[in-house]
Homo-oligomer: A and B are copies of this chain.
């Protein structure tokens, strides 16, 4: 398991024992980083690893139990038996089909409450969060536990967006925020003022590849990722890493813009090094800024 430098813990260790944290883990490496943060801060934890979503290599030897997404009653019992008081949802959760889901009575109840058929992409997760809260658990955001990964303002490497790039970032952020408000994607690609692509459920990698192929000559396009507004931040702050940088460069785009405080940057040293090596920018824009500052 990778142990990136600079993962800090929050809250800091205290005399009073910290509440036990249930880590409900989906795909990707973020669950590993939350586990590591708990270990560093001394916060007790237990991992509920979602079958078909979480990856063993990112759970390692942490105390955990594998559970189907649809087995809500079982999951609830496991967490109760383990005495968890707080809960965090971390990692990618691919939305399963109803058949894959095989919901138990408990899961069905949540789904009915959520009237899942007319909800947006995050509707079901929001409903699950509300259930935990109704049961007395405190829902934590991954970024509360991973404060050192929060995006900062400015360039992560030596490359910076030029004037056209900054104009494209502003347009992209406007569009991406509107999309987020509609509970759709969080990412768009803009080139020379034109929106080349908008992310829905195909994921950011597919968007990057498609938009790269649609570019025209001249200044290169920019991938812009912003958080969804309001509550959604607790679930799903956009995350980027060195791999994102590589895909953007491969697709021929000019760089990545994220919102300072509104994205997780996994292993910033590696991100900056790859960006420099590949000649693309990774730029943190102040939240709510009309335009990123620049020369």
Contacts and interface: CB of A to CB of B under 8 A. Distances in A.
B184 A198 contact: yes
A193 B116 contact: yes
Given A167-B117, A194-B201, A200-B195, A216 B97 contact: yes
A210 B199 CA distance: 12
- For chain A, give the interface size range: 35 or more
A192 interface: yes
A17 interface: no
B121 A171 contact: no
Given A174-B182, A182-B178, A216-B97, A200 B200 contact: no
A194 B183 CA distance: 9
B218 A98 contact: yes
A217 interface: yes
A197 B200 contact: yes
Given A182-B175, A184-B175, A120 B202 contact: no
A218 B97 contact: yes
Nearest to A197: B200
A185 B174 CA distance: 15
A118 B167 contact: yes
Given A178-B178, A184-B175, A121 B194 contact: yes
Contacts of A218: 97-98
Task: Kindly list the 3 A-B residue pairs having the minimum CB-CB distance in the complex, ordered from nearest.
Answer: A97-B216, A198-B198, A97-B217
